[in-house]
Structure 1
Amino acid sequence: MGYWVITIPRELTPLLRTNKSRGNFARRVRRVFKKLGYQRGLTRWHYFGDKNHDYFPHLNVLVDGQWLESEELERQKDDLRRMLFSKHMRERYNNNLVVHYEYRDTPAKIMHTLKYVCRATFLDKSWDGTLARNMYNFQNCGWWGKWDQAPKWDPPDSDKHIAALATLAKGICSICSTKLTWSRRPTTTPHMLTQGAVEIASGYYRLPNIRPPPKI
């Protein structure tokens, strides 16, 4: 599995504060990777780092990748920068237009990367209240390509966490396979836990079945 990370300079993070701008950038990234020959993949945003609460978005990209020799890796990085950013931006911010790549070649490494990419990074709305309100209902993941092909990598069979996450991201219940209708009323994780919610994938919880009141 190939794991890419696209990061822009901190000075330009205000350009990615709206749902529209982040959505447009992610779609552009997916188109570029397809042009580079990656037939399918997944993108997911991270918004905050582990060390502070400063908004610093970067886009994770998972692809059916392989080990890249240093010369080929640098060529692909240069192609990504050239197709994603204007000539003016490349000349001004070249050293800060970070494109990182790792090849994950074992089930343990693949699972670790999947869990890392799928984790939530915006954990408290007090970090940026305005951004939290504007981000409501934003689709944080995106994908491209056909997924009916044989996979080039597989997570361990015993762990169904990622399969459940992929199904839920498509709006399908991972338990009964029915189409989901999402409520537009926001809630909090502590509130759900007090109602007996059980996490079934990163950021997704299952509430106990609602039963009719007892007959009198």
Structure 2
Amino acid sequence: IKQVLSGEWEIERRRDRGERISRQRKEDIRAWWFPEGLRRWHFFGDLVKELGEGMKGLAWVDNASESSSGGRGDRYNPHVNVLVSYGFITRGKFRRIKRALRAALQEPDLIVHYGYTREPARMVHALKYITRATFLDWMWAPDVAASIYNFHNAQVWGKWDGEPVWSLDNLEGDPELAVLPDPLAVESLESGICPRCGKPLDWAGPFPIKALAGMEKQDLGAGYCELEQVRAPPGMKAVMMLRAAGYHGPVIVEGEICGN
């Protein structure tokens, strides 16, 4: 999907047909597509509800309820979301995009929806909605959970070094909209890289989500949170988090047993 929407797929197809592609021609092809974007999968959720309620602030080109099958929030229903910074896409260009995606993915019946907005608040809402976690319990689909372990879900492309088109000062209404998720941080985390220092991460293992209640944290999106950097005594934070989650057994920390 990234290859198609960034223009790289078209460039490769033209080369396969024997066409010589100059540097300028490559830039022209990429400019017709989308120079920057964010792609992220949702593995669960009611797609009709997402388009009709969660993303209702966007102007949709087609009627989602007529062509998409819905489902409960805990039913496996994979669908990919893409955000691009671009002007309004005409129906003719949208049809060409759908044809390219169907050909590249070899899915002739692929369903593609497109929505558009120019309002900063709705853009922020779309970003927060798309980067939220939908696979909330591995017991919903244990086989799927095992198959996507270490899967690089969030992916961005392009150079994000242009002048800002708008800022958070343009937002009106709900102040929570100003708390943006960080898609670049999510991509780093899913690649096993610390988004702050750039060093490889050594994951200690999952903690119960209830253990985060009442703790100071920043939501990075996609179910990732950054805790405050105050250091507790060795092992104490792990013990406190497990206690908050309802676990009262022994905890082994660096060869010692804590919290008997």
Q: 1:55 aligns with which of 76, 81, 84?
A: 76
Contact 1:30 / 1:43 at 8 angstroms: preserved in 2?
yes
Runs of 5+ consecutive residues of structure 1 not aligned to the other structure: 1-28
Task: Give the corresponding residue for 1:25.
Answer: none
SS at match of 1:67: coil
Q: 1:105 aligns with which of 118, 124, 128?
A: 118
Does structure 1 residue 189 correspond to structure 2 residue 202?
A: no
Identify the structure with bigger relative contact order (alpha carbons < 8 Å, sequence gap 6+): 1
SS at match of 1:187: coil
Task: Give the corresponding residue for 1:33.
Answer: 5
CA displacement at 1:98 relative to structure 2: 0.3
CA displacement at 1:155 relative to structure 2: 5.4
Report percent identity of matched pairs: 33
Separation in 2, partners of 1:48, 1:127: 9
Q: 1:82 aligns with which of 81, 97, 103?
A: 103
Q: Given residue 40 of structure 1, which amino acid in structure 2 is its aligned partner?
A: E
Contact 1:197 / 1:205 at 8 angstroms: preserved in 2?
no
Contact 2:156 / 2:187 at 8 angstroms: preserved in 1?
no
Distance change >3 Å, CA 64–CA 78, structure 1 → 2:
same
Task: Give the corresponding residue for 1:4.
Answer: none
Question: Which stretches of structure 1, 4 residues or more, deviate above 6 A after TM superposition?
Answer: none
Q: TM-score, normalised by structure 2?
A: 0.57
Q: What CA RMSD, in Å, does the superposition of the two structures yield over aligned residues?
A: 2.5
SS at match of 2:113: strand
Runs of 5+ consecutive residues of structure 2 not aligned to the other structure: 8-31, 47-70, 172-177, 235-260
Q: Which has the larger radius of gyration?
A: 2
How many residues are aligned here? 171
SS at match of 1:131: helix
Does structure 1 residue 69 correspond to structure 2 residue 65?
A: no
Distance change >3 Å, CA 115–CA 144, structure 1 → 2:
same
Separation in 1, partners of 2:128, 2:167: 11
Contact 1:43 / 1:59 at 8 angstroms: preserved in 2?
yes
Does structure 1 residue 116 correspond to structure 2 residue 129?
A: yes
Separation in 1, partners of 2:167, 2:111: 28
Separation in 2, partners of 1:73, 1:109: 21
Contact 2:45 / 2:77 at 8 angstroms: preserved in 1?
yes
SS at match of 1:99: coil
